[in-house]
Structure 1
């Protein structure tokens, strides 16, 4: 007796799965697009002000005004919550401190003029770090992100602090980013992130999500430097692709960002219980 399905039923089953996959991808992409509104505005502003010279004020100052208005508009419209604004402000300050130090050490530069520059760093630069936090916060909320096998708070906090400090200390001491990367793999080897798309819950290894986000931020960095957001020493004469080794730096920065956002989300969740 042949229990196999007729070809027509197989075709319908495959077609149904394909349609569901397309629908799920659409919903996932739509939520991702909404979560990326702030980064998109940043890149669009960088491109437009690079092509068209802004009037009255220097370019860096216009970028700061645009990003401030965008931040206000997102909170006003409900795209961002006030709690998310607090997290984003924290990232702005963390990023600005790192920018001031890195520019002082000659890692990169902001060569254009601007009234809103502090110690050689335009204030708009902090928004590029804040945009990472904006994406993480909004994607977390829209996709109902949950963490599985999350390590203890003190371990996560210590690792995040060590990664951030290494961005400063490697100029004077050995660079331990690869040791820290190894600790990340060991610490989060059994950790997963789950997310909800159109009523269905999926999961992904946390380490893989770090790598994917870090890679796409490296792609975004190439776009940003192409439009003159900042420049590395090897880009002073002409633009060139950012070295692939920078992925490791962005990967660690993403990990710090994710750990901070995850910790704040968990603290808020515990308070609200």
Structure 2
């Protein structure tokens, strides 16, 4: 019985972490099934995403600092989308006013929703990392992963080499998380894979509802090729590393400020 209570709490918290991604998927489904007059579907989705973010801030489900992180991922994702659409990897065939080089602006929110999930999970599960690798090594890894999404169109695709590097670099790294009062842990590399798998399932749902279309889905929808899991695996790594590094920087700044205040108090002259 205790196991099922733990599983229920874990599932419920995961659902709360997915509020923003859930809003996006519900909006994709409704705007696909319903004919909304006076506004293009892509533009309506952009408006929904912006309103959703503002409401999450208003009701305290996200902070302004978290919004900054989310916007970083919006830019990262939008740049990647523009490039991939230009290269013909996928397309956004529907009309829309808020488009840049054929890419609707709402598409960046699909990437930032991953960052939103990570930020929410960090708070709700009280995430802690142990044996975190050297900052410069993982920064170089992030750059290499992101660059490979661009360069593999011209040179060799290094994704499997990068995945091996990830496994080596994070071989001792664990993520600790709390469910109710129970402290659990798992290898961070395994958590990358779990998140990537569920994003792959979400990608199938999103493409089914016309969020975007791969070349083999233009005539009739078909499941996204399973190899896309490796792409999401690498993108998830970028997301978690950036969020983690920003969290660590913020924690260090807070610690340094606390130490400074304590030092000032200890050095203050007695009256």
Q: TM-score, normalised by structure 2?
A: 0.93
Counterparts of 2:2 and 2:246, CA distance in 1: 34
Query: Across the two proteins, how many residue pairs are aligned to each other?
Result: 255
Counterparts of 2:206 and 2:184, CA distance in 1: 32
Counterparts of 1:129 and 1:253, CA distance in 2: 9
Counterparts of 1:53 and 1:148, CA distance in 2: 50
Counterparts of 2:79 and 2:58, CA distance in 1: 28
- Where does residue 13 of structure 2 map in the other structure? 31
Task: Write out the 4+ residue segments of structure 1 that deviate beyond 3 Å after TM superposition.
Answer: none
Can you give the 5+ residue segments of structure 1 that lack an aligned partner in the other structure? 1-18
- Where does residue 114 of structure 2 map in the other structure? 132
2:61 corresponds, among 48, 68, 79, to 79
The DSSP-based 3-state class of the residue aligned with 2:177 is strand
- Where does residue 238 of structure 2 map in the other structure? 256
Can you give the 5+ residue segments of structure 2 that lack an aligned partner in the other structure? 256-271
Counterparts of 2:36 and 2:127, CA distance in 1: 40
2:134 corresponds, among 140, 152, 164, to 152
1:185 corresponds, among 158, 161, 167, to 167
- Where does residue 212 of structure 1 map in the other structure? 194
- Where does residue 95 of structure 1 map in the other structure? 77
Counterparts of 2:192 and 2:115, CA distance in 1: 14
The DSSP-based 3-state class of the residue aligned with 1:181 is helix
- Where does residue 9 of structure 1 map in the other structure? none
1:109 corresponds, among 84, 87, 91, to 91
The DSSP-based 3-state class of the residue aligned with 2:176 is strand
Can you list the C-alpha shifts for 1:42-81, whole angstroms capped at 9, x where unaligned? 0000000000011101000000000100000001100101
Counterparts of 1:269 and 1:162, CA distance in 2: 27
User: What is the CA RMSD across the aligned residues, in angstroms?
Assistant: 0.6
- Where does residue 269 of structure 2 map in the other structure? none
- Where does residue 170 of structure 1 map in the other structure? 152
- Displacement, 1:125? 0.1
Q: TM-score, normalised by structure 1?
A: 0.92
